[in-house]
Structure 1
């Protein structure tokens, strides 16, 4: 996810609504397992004692022109700190297992990192992240996707008023929060072969900004580096 989740936190993706409700924040003994394996180490010129890793475990939902796709669990990690007194950050990983696409039997969607992230929050947004979505079905082309690594989707997430930031634990620092991008523009699919137009029609693609939302409810834990 500051999502992707952030405060200098991160981004990442989650679920609200009738088909994908997210429960109230868990107690400290009910939290998901956080994995810091993908945390980037501080750079050699990092200011000592200023770097930390943020690990997000999120539940996500992508809504395309009213068509809801529950994304399930997303995990995102990044590190941040200071170099010569200035804020700096390093992306770790975005991990997402393929999720079933309602209305398209045998079809899954999987989010992948698109090569850009900025998790420094400000008054305008929580953070920004480039992603693309791989679409899989035995009848579709092997390169079927919404967006690509070369031309990713640019998502800008804001605080979701339905899930305000909540501190769950101080040691280790752990929080729960929600973010939403209500302005995500989505192109038509690419590389899907002869059935690509059918997929586009079922999903309502292409779909302009203002017709789609990308939401995530996230747990985040911080670890000093």
Structure 2
């Protein structure tokens, strides 16, 4: 994928996050239990065990199990969107890829897992006295229904959790956010057997929509988060992944 400059923040980003994208890397996530009332402070991506292949999807008809691999990928993204900046708890994505019977490249989505992360500063409750109260606010990424891991494209929605908000309050509820990850450095093979590859990626070109379906406080929430935001958004993406070919997986 080409590496183009969209704004002045990219040099700082490259220093901050050693970013590279493996074209066929999957995006997959199982994060540990996490309370929305506390910011994530768990292990780094390199510490996350990538041994759970239970989400590997069924192969397309006629696919050769020895030439298809299931990839399990864990990442701890940093997200700046509108006025909000947060380091998300690790997410895990699983997918399969390999040649289709006609020789073209194929992919099959597996699953995504994530947990909530507290948003710094919370969410100001309506004033009930001379001092406004702050209430907890957490954000949780969810798969948006589109992915192409050969090119680094995928979509996410971000559910917002607070006692003050409706349960379906989501950024990108009706139209998920489309990310196009770009590399800025080589991937690193940490281990050959079992395979473990570390990489990082970023996108600073995506558009952040307003939060929707949040109840009576939707307008106040969007003002607090600075949404919608057409520019000035950034996701950096430190990650690691492993894989097995389907002939190495247990028979189901």
Instruction: Please report the TM-score for the alignment, with normalisation by the length of structure 1.
Output: 0.82
Cα 1:71–1:100 change in 2 (3 A) is same
Task: Output one character per residue of 1:158-188: Cα deviation in whole Å (capped at 9) or x when no partner.
Answer: 1144xx4100111121100001111110111
**Aligned counterpart, 1:200:** 222
CA contact (8 A) 2:79 2:87 kept: yes
**Corresponding residue SS for 2:182:** strand
CA contact (8 A) 1:22 1:217 kept: no
Task: Output one character per residue of 1:45-85: Cα deviation in whole Å (capped at 9) or x when no partner.
Answer: 11352100110111111102453111111001100011122
> Matches of residues 26-41 of structure 1 in structure 2 within 5 Å?
26=46, 32-41=49-58
Larger Rg: 2
Cα 1:137–1:182 change in 2 (3 A) is same
**Aligned counterpart, 2:36:** none
CA contact (8 A) 2:80 2:234 kept: yes
CA contact (8 A) 1:147 1:189 kept: yes
In the TM superposition, what is the alpha-carbon distance from 1:12 to its structure 2 partner?
Answer: 6.4
CA contact (8 A) 2:65 2:245 kept: no
Higher strand share goes to which structure?
A: 1
**Aligned counterpart, 2:24:** 8
Cα 1:95–1:31 change in 2 (3 A) is closer
**Aligned counterpart, 1:212:** 233
**Corresponding residue SS for 2:97:** strand
CA contact (8 A) 1:103 1:202 kept: no
**Aligned counterpart, 1:16:** none
**Corresponding residue SS for 2:212:** coil
**Unaligned 5+ runs, structure 2:** 1-18, 30-38, 123-134, 247-252
> Matches of residues 119-198 of structure 1 in structure 2 within 5 Å?
119-121=149-151, 127-148=152-173, 150-161=174-185, 164-198=186-220
Instruction: Please report the TM-score for the alignment, with normalisation by the length of structure 2.
Output: 0.74
Q: In the alignment, which of 76, 82, 95 is matched to residue 93 of structure 2?
A: 76
Task: Output one character per residue of 1:95-154: Cα deviation in whole Å (capped at 9) or x when no partner.
Answer: 111111111141111111111111113xxxxx1111111111111112211011x41111
- Over 3 Å off, 4+ runs: 19-26
**Corresponding residue SS for 2:216:** helix
Superposition RMSD on alpha carbons, in Å? Answer: 2.6
Q: Distance in 2 between matches of 1:25 and 1:94?
A: 16
Cα 1:50–1:177 change in 2 (3 A) is same
Q: In the alignment, which of 103, 106, 115 is matched to residue 88 of structure 1?
A: 106
**Corresponding residue SS for 1:193:** coil
Q: In the alignment, which of 47, 53, 61 is matched to residue 70 of structure 2?
A: 53
**Corresponding residue SS for 2:111:** strand
